[in-house]
Chains A and B, each alone.
Chain A
Amino acid sequence: MSDPALDNIERGLREMTEPRSTQEGERTELWKKALEISRADERSALIHPGRDAEFEPRPTRGRRLFLALNGVGVAAIMVLAAGVWTIAINAPSPSEQAELANEMEAAASRSDAMSEPATDKPEMIAESTESSAKLFESSALADAGAMEFDRGRRQLGIENDMIADLGDAEDETDDFRLRLSPDMARSRSASSGLEIDESVDDAAPVEIAARDEALTMPAEVEGEHPPGIMQAPRAFEEGRPLGRGNAGMFATPAIETASIVIEVDDIDYAYNTMNELPQAEFGEFSEIDFDDASAMTLNFSPYRMDEALDSIRGLGSVVEESRKPDNQLSRVNLAMSNTATAIEPIRETLEEYGLRPGMNEHERMHVLGRIKPEELVDMVERAVADIGRQIENAKRSTGLSRVRVSIKERTESDTIEE
């Protein structure tokens, strides 16, 4: 249906912005003037510091960075020098060092004397230096004895499992028990009456995890803490809610198709807000519904579906909303359809250049005329890149959820629509 008023408006609008030249019948040359201005500016910006001594060139970005780094380096050196100077000032003099050494030696002697049982007597404390020497000698003897003992044990085939040889009293200590090898643990448990399940010992961690009793937590722990990620499957089976260790974020949400109709006060604001949503992988609306000027279909990552729908709902009042699971086959079908539509114009353009099946070189040259082969190759490369982009977009869109959003303005704005 044709509207003469709108036809006139559209014709007038086209005339208003018709291409025009600067002079009637002449080719425009504004670019040349711009080029001349630019060249003149470049020439005037040329710097000759030697010729113009007063000229102080503005530092370039790189030069500014260089100067800043130099400044930082100088500052660091100064700080370092100040630190060295401070240490040098506060360092003790040689006489103070000697005095300090004497004091430390005396203190060490006193502490040795106090820790040595045989030095109870005051006369022994007085002979601290001599006793220290004796103590050193005796500890050296003890070490040599221990080494000899070890060597003897090894010659007799006795393993160096002195911890395992500890008595029952020591075995009560958990720290020690943790260091037992399985064989030693078995031998010790046999002697102490404890039973260890052999299958647990030999089983893989997964098999152990599968055994309920192996993972059963005390009742009070289970009650206090919600199940974590490792226990998520059991939580689902038992109908329990997931706690903070939510495994949901590791699961892939289902692809969905949603439809929402909202009424807004400011339709421009609504469109722009939607454009700023972190929607899907594309930086623009995925699809515009040309039958309905106010409707569009957005592709969202399934992870963002709820967040996106919340944002859309917040733009106005929801008139209608539906949501259903989709399947990837329908998305593939849609993507193929969209891709075919998008690639068609490129294919037609290529064919205009004689790039169609069955065309020989002579026919192609006839179509192309004087086009250089390298220019043709350049053009074809761009076309192929465009096609590749379309296919890549289609591939990515198969894993995305869709929301068809229809926005209505509260005030009647679509009076010229049929």
Chain B
Amino acid sequence: MIQSGVSQFEEPGSGKAHAVSDERLLARFVSGDDEALGELAARYEAQLIGLCTGMLGDRALAMEAVQETWLRVIRHGRTYDGRASVKTWMYQIAINRCRDLGRARGARTKRELTHHQRESDIRRGRSDSDGKTADPRLEAAVSGLEDHQRETVLLCYHRGLTHKQAAEVLGVPIGTIKSRLNKALVKLRDALGSETTTGRGIEA
């Protein structure tokens, strides 16, 4: 639990330290301080949108998923039992929202369509609204992965989550994360056409 312990004091991905832990902020929000929720959002909302966009391949759906995530945090914050860190808990909710939305709205199809749209946008020289571009071939390859492999690979390469936290979010042991990650990377490399035949171990 050390990594999660450290994450309580550091802003994810920035290395900047926070004086107030996520758990403390949630407790403050539950006791009526809405600004505490705003502080939590400042820490995690952009990250959740990034992750959900990667999961769903659709920014609008991703924002819907994140908004529903906040709704659940607001409604169930009182029942948060502290078994997992607040961060892991919120990611779990977000992943579940992505699964629900993906199932309900044919996310796979939409993701592929979005991918084609994005590819054509990129060809026209447009970029993502944040100015961030992703390799469309890679996105297509990721969308071809099995659901559990896609979730694993996106969570593990998502900035701000350690492999251990990814395992907690998905509710599987870290060994499973490692095996899934290995398999997914092999598939992605095969799908993208390997330029070299030499391999390397995956760092945890």
The answer to whether A38 touches B154 (Cβ under 8 A) is: no
Interchain CB contact (< 8 A) of A13 among B59, B142, B200 = B142
Chain A to chain B contacts (Cβ below 8 Å), 28 pairs: A5-B189, A8-B138, A8-B192, A9-B138, A9-B185, A14-B159, A17-B54, A18-B130, A19-B13, A20-B46, A20-B129, A20-B130, A28-B46, A30-B49, A31-B41, A33-B70, A34-B70, A35-B74, A271-B176, A285-B175, A294-B179, A345-B5, A345-B6, A353-B9, A379-B19, A414-B182, A416-B199, A418-B200
CB-CB < 8 A to A12: which residues of B? Answer: 134-135, 138
Shortest 10 CB-CB distances between A and B: which pairs?
Answer: A416-B199, A34-B70, A13-B157, A31-B41, A19-B46, A12-B138, A17-B54, A386-B5, A17-B158, A16-B54
CA distance A20 to B142 in the complex (A): 19
Judged by a CB distance under 8 angstroms, whether B113 is at the interface is no
The answer to whether A386 touches B2 (Cβ under 8 A) is: yes
The answer to whether B46 touches A4 (Cβ under 8 A) is: no
The answer to whether B70 touches A16 (Cβ under 8 A) is: no
Q: Residues on A close to B: CB < 8 A?
A: 1-6, 8-10, 12-24, 27-35, 37-38, 267-268, 271-272, 274-275, 284-285, 288, 290, 293-294, 296, 342-343, 345-346, 349, 352-353, 371-372, 375-376, 378-379, 382-383, 386, 389-390, 413-418
The answer to whether B189 touches A35 (Cβ under 8 A) is: no
Q: Which residue of B lies closest to A295 (CB)?
A: B175
CB-CB < 8 A to A14: which residues of B? Answer: 157-159
Q: Which residue of B lies closest to A7 (CB)?
A: B200
Q: Which residue of A lies closest to B178 (CB)?
A: A293
Knowing A9-B192, A288-B204, A416-B182 are in contact, say whether A38-B71 is a contact too (CB < 8 A).
yes
Query: Given A14-B159, A375-B19, 6 other A-B contacts at CB below 8 A?
Result: A21-B49, A31-B40, A34-B73, A349-B6, A389-B1, A417-B201
The answer to whether B195 touches A4 (Cβ under 8 A) is: yes
CA distance A372 to B154 in the complex (A): 37
Q: How far is the CB of A282 from chain B (nearest CB, A)?
A: 11
The answer to whether A353 touches B17 (Cβ under 8 A) is: yes
CB-CB < 8 A to A4: which residues of B? Answer: 195-196
The answer to whether A383 touches B174 (Cβ under 8 A) is: no
Judged by a CB distance under 8 angstroms, whether B61 is at the interface is no
CA distance A23 to B46 in the complex (A): 10
CA distance A12 to B54 in the complex (A): 11
CB-CB < 8 A to A15: which residues of B? Answer: 132-135
CA distance A38 to B178 in the complex (A): 39
The answer to whether B174 touches A285 (Cβ under 8 A) is: yes
CB-CB < 8 A to A285: which residues of B? Answer: 173-175
The answer to whether B199 touches A35 (Cβ under 8 A) is: no
CB-CB < 8 A to B21: which residues of A? Answer: 378-379, 382
The answer to whether A20 touches B159 (Cβ under 8 A) is: no
Interchain CB contact (< 8 A) of B20 among A2, A375, A417 = A375
